[in-house]
Amino acid sequence: MNAVIIEHVKISELPAAWRAKLPVPENARVTVRIEEETSGVETEKDLLFGMWRDREDMADVEAYVCKLRAPRF
């Protein structure tokens, strides 16, 4: 993800709609960070992160881990 970061911007130089949302004095300076919005579609990375989320045998994680470790003790 790429982001554009603009530091030390005077509040008075921001668009009026942005200034209205910031409860700061007119002479204040802010940092503006602009990021691309996500489409809401899961990426392969997102799917890999939750690859076990639908496993019914892992619903209770503690019980699952205890069952895995039981033969070793």
The confidence band for 72, taking pLDDT boundaries of 50, 70 and 90, is confident
Residue 50 in tokens: 């939750």
Average pLDDT over residues 27-39: 87
Percent of the chain exceeding pLDDT 70 equals 79
Domains identified in the chain, total number: 1
Cα torsion 42, 43, 46, 52 to 10°: value is 80
CA distances from 13 to 27, 60, 72 (A): 10, 53, 66
6 or 52, which is more confident:
6
Contact status, residue 32 vs residue 24, Cβ threshold 8 Å: no
Bridge partners (DSSP) listed for residue 9: 30
The confidence band for 33, taking pLDDT boundaries of 50, 70 and 90, is very high
Print the domain residue range for 15. Answer: 3-72
